[in-house]
Structure 1
Amino acid sequence: MYRNHIVEEVYSLQLEAFTIWMKQSGYSLTTEKEYLREVRDYLSTLNEIPIQQSKKMNVVAFLVSKQRTSGDKTRNRTLSAIRSFYTALIDFELTTTNPALEVKKSKTEKHRNPVYLDQSELEKVLTYVEGRYRDRNLALFLLMAYCGLRVGEVHRINLSHFKKGKGTLEVLGKGRKWNEIPLPPLLIQYLTKVEEERIQPYREKEEAMFVSQKGRRLSIRQIQKIITQVFEGYKKKHPYNADLKLSCHKLRHSFATMLLNHNVDIRVVKELLGHASIETTMIYTHINDEQKRSAMTMINIPQT
């Protein structure tokens, strides 16, 4: 606690600049909190030296100290937070160098297929969406599984973003980038039901599409809990998938895989997912076992 107090006191200007920079850059609230936590931990190891005097060795020493309790993926996220911190300080002319840029990222496992459910499994999971707010919860599920939305994007949807006449949904994605998504007809029906059944919020200015039983915008955590409960019901009846790590983001993986398996142009998939780079979309171009077997049936080995 004492060390945290010292960090806030010594580096208050830098932390304030970093917070402003992240908000200006469109970072999500979750990322802001994670990055600030990582940066505060890093600053606590600098022993109060001026930020301009920090070196590559300070960054590496901090990452090494965390290696015992974290994997390569966590290390790389920490490094990204520190890099962003120095980038913000340079942008606000509080320092001139970014020592974290000289530190290499850890090599993580490549070519690992994302976890996803195929179309038949998604249909089975849908049957486990139930309860008093079934229509609302179905809409949540469908937006992630059949439109590829991130959980944060679903959380931010307002009533005005649903363009029923056009059959589209305006989505505020990463980097505060807007994306207009054409909606499947059945999803339009469910969103219409959500509008009709929506509890009148206590706050007059509450514009959220998805609200709780108290009339407040559903939090990201609440949405995740709803989807987790659906998966738990599904796994109890389908034990062969009991060890499959399913989550909101796995529904997004399923959507991308489904489109590519139907030979949708990868550039279109990129736009629907709201990716900044097509390289990110490329992780979904995995080949399944059935496709491998089908390809091998075309091989004709001559008899000798």
Structure 2
Amino acid sequence: MALTQYDLIEAYSLELELFSIWMKNQGMTKSTQQAYMSDARSFLKGVYPADLAKLGKMEIMRFLSTTRERGAGDEARNRKLSSLRAFYKSLNEMEHLQINPAASVAKSKQVKNRIPTYLEENQLHHFFDRVEGKYQNRNVAILLLMAFAGLRVGEIHRMNIQDLHQDGSIHILGKGRKWRVIPLPAELHQILIRTLEERRSPNQGKEQAFFISQFGRRLSIRMIQTVADQTFEKLKAELPELMNTRLSSHKLRHSFATMQIRSGTDIRTLQELLGHASIETTQIYTHIDNKQMRMAMDKFTGKIPSVSRTE
């Protein structure tokens, strides 16, 4: 008989409940909680009906190997490993288990300094020309926050009215529930003020979300991604050179970081603007594209010594 979701929950209901309580107390975002819980359930499905106290490193490795066989790359494997480490850590801290076999499993080494996909400035102008529809002004503001303030989709989703300040800054709740203050370009600050003035009245009077959906609720992460995806499709139709390029909302954040580096922003400042915990994450944006390399090498034009050939 096939394993059902009911069987899984019945066998591991306490562990899953403890994990859920622990994640909420850690202040994890809903999206992170959902992703971690999904990975934990996938793992439990593979080991059912085993007693977790009797499992070891081999079961963790077997689960990760299975994800490899299903096409997961290094990044996906490491994310699932992080989920299992958190799952076991929660059971340790909640005094349910004394072991954490996931803690001793090494992460896969990922390719470093992979050049991120981004849009050139002229492509960004074309991109914003393609934003249309009933909620055009709201959607332009959302996309500008990604491309010219470097915000993540989740950060835009969590934005509240009080996060926009009169001094021209915006206070952002980022990953790890850490706040950062971003001084906005004057034009972007004014656009956000106008967006707030045009903000749709929410269904619930106490709703403080900055961006409201057509249904009167906080605009969802999925809808923010859809706004970007639909605009990218229009851009690709206009610029065939982008047709085979994978573009998503996060690529606008890449574009912001690339423009900052090209403008001379130092890596430490960029780290603060992006809200990266580690400067190593920010360093992927120090890439130099072919145009810059061509300009650098062109400086040697006329300086190459002529060498006489001897027969």
Structure 2-normalised TM-score? 0.92
- Name the aligned partner's letter for residue 141 of structure 1: L
Partners of 1:4 and 1:63 lie apart in 2 by 21
Q: Summarize deviations over 1:127-184 as a string: whole Å, max 9, x none.
A: 1112222111110010000000000100111111111x21111111111111111111
Contact 1:156 1:208 in 2 (8 A): yes
Contact 1:211 1:218 in 2 (8 A): yes
Q: Quick check: 255-264 or 95-104, which moved more?
A: 95-104
Partners of 1:178 and 1:107 lie apart in 2 by 30
Query: 3-state DSSP class of the match of 1:24?
Result: helix
What's the counterpart of residue 142 of structure 2? 140
Q: Can you give the 5+ residue segments of structure 1 that lack an aligned partner in the other structure?
A: none
Contact 1:136 1:190 in 2 (8 A): no
Contact 2:8 2:48 in 1 (8 A): no
Deviation at residue 280 of structure 1 after TM alignment: 0.9
- Do residues 89 (structure 1) and 91 (structure 2) align? yes
Contact 2:153 2:225 in 1 (8 A): yes
Partners of 1:258 and 1:219 lie apart in 2 by 28
Q: Can you give the 5+ residue segments of structure 2 that lack an aligned partner in the other structure?
A: none
Q: Summarize deviations over 1:11-47 as a string: whole Å, max 9, x none.
A: 2222112112222223221221111111111112223
Partners of 2:18 and 2:223 lie apart in 1 by 31
Partners of 1:65 and 1:196 lie apart in 2 by 52
Query: 3-state DSSP class of the match of 2:172?
Result: strand
Partners of 2:48 and 2:25 lie apart in 1 by 29
What's the counterpart of residue 302 of structure 1? 305
Contact 1:139 1:190 in 2 (8 A): yes
Q: Quick check: 257-266 or 59-68, which moved more?
A: 59-68
Partners of 1:167 and 1:253 lie apart in 2 by 23
Partners of 2:250 and 2:170 lie apart in 1 by 19
2:129 aligned to which of 114, 127, 130: 127
Contact 1:3 1:44 in 2 (8 A): no
Query: 3-state DSSP class of the match of 2:187?
Result: helix
- Name the aligned partner's letter for residue 97 of structure 1: I
What's the counterpart of residue 200 of structure 1? 201
Deviation at residue 274 of structure 1 after TM alignment: 0.7
- Name the aligned partner's letter for residue 134 of structure 1: Q
Aligned runs of 1:253-272 on 2, under 5 Å? 253-272=254-273
Partners of 1:218 and 1:120 lie apart in 2 by 29
Identity of aligned residues (%): 46
Query: 3-state DSSP class of the match of 2:47?
Result: coil
- Name the aligned partner's letter for residue 143 of structure 2: F
- Name the aligned partner's letter for residue 217 of structure 2: R
What's the counterpart of residue 58 of structure 1? 59
What's the counterpart of residue 118 of structure 2? 116
What's the counterpart of residue 70 of structure 2? 69
Partners of 1:162 and 1:45 lie apart in 2 by 47
Q: Computing the radius of gyration over CA atoms, which structure comes out larger, 1 or 2?
A: 2
- Name the aligned partner's letter for residue 252 of structure 2: L
Deviation at residue 107 of structure 1 after TM alignment: 3.2
Aligned runs of 1:149-298 on 2, under 5 Å? 149-163=151-165, 165-298=166-299
Partners of 1:21 and 1:39 lie apart in 2 by 14
Aligned runs of 1:97-112 on 2, under 5 Å? 97-112=99-114
Q: Quick check: 195-204 or 62-71, which moved more?
A: 62-71
> Measured at CA, do residues 219 and 47 of structure 1 come closer, stay the same or move farther in structure 2, by a change above 3 Å?
closer
Query: 3-state DSSP class of the match of 1:170?
Result: strand
Deviation at residue 110 of structure 1 after TM alignment: 3.1
Structure 1-normalised TM-score? 0.94
Partners of 1:228 and 1:44 lie apart in 2 by 34
Contact 2:153 2:224 in 1 (8 A): yes
Query: 3-state DSSP class of the match of 2:82?
Result: helix
Query: 3-state DSSP class of the match of 1:252?
Result: helix
Deviation at residue 4 of structure 1 after TM alignment: 2.6
Q: Summarize deviations over 1:230-258 as a string: whole Å, max 9, x none.
A: 11111111111111111111111111111
Deviation at residue 301 of structure 1 after TM alignment: 3.4
Aligned runs of 1:3-82 on 2, under 5 Å? 3-72=4-73, 73-82=75-84
Q: Quick check: 61-70 or 154-163, which moved more?
A: 61-70
Contact 2:113 2:283 in 1 (8 A): no
Q: How many residues align?
A: 303
Q: Summarize deviations over 1:58-92 as a string: whole Å, max 9, x none.
A: 11111222222122222222111111111222222
